[in-house]
A = this chain, B = another copy of it.
């Protein structure tokens, strides 16, 4: 799979840890270890979904559009995944076959249920949780 959910979550968690200071795409990119364009592409999608806002120009950057405890990984997934389909159906099964004629209708509901379960689980984690867990990891490492 692609790593866009991971990178988008990284971006948001990073912005949250800056505690209100605007994050430039270059700064975020150095944390993710990729290039600023990829970050801006994802930020563009996050902004369209209402999760972030960006300020152009000097001193600008990205901020969270709402509190970190009100942004879940489900929101992130919804923002970066256009169709939200983990599994695809096969195009045009044979309509002359009793199985081919109906398989997609039957599969569709089962797959939808599975994807719903995935989203429900993602909804349990907020960006605030992520930032908290990352901070806790750092404390652990500092003590060791």
Contacts and interface: CB of A to CB of B under 8 A. Distances in A.
Given A99-B13, A100-B10, A117-B117, A90 B3 contact: yes
Contacts of A88: 1-3, 6
Interface string A81-103: 00001111111111001111111
Looking at chain A's contact residues, is the secondary structure mostly helix, strand, loop, or mixed?
helix
User: Chain A interface: which size bin?
Assistant: 35 or more
Nearest to A83: B1
4 tightest CB-CB pairs across the interface, nearest first? A117-B121, A102-B137, A31-B97, A114-B121
8 contacts: A3-B88, A31-B97, A31-B99, A102-B137, A106-B137, A116-B121, A117-B118, A118-B121
Interface of A: 1-3, 5-7, 9-10, 13-14, 17, 30-34, 73, 85-94, 97-107, 110-111, 113-118, 120-122, 124-125, 130, 133-135, 137-138, 141
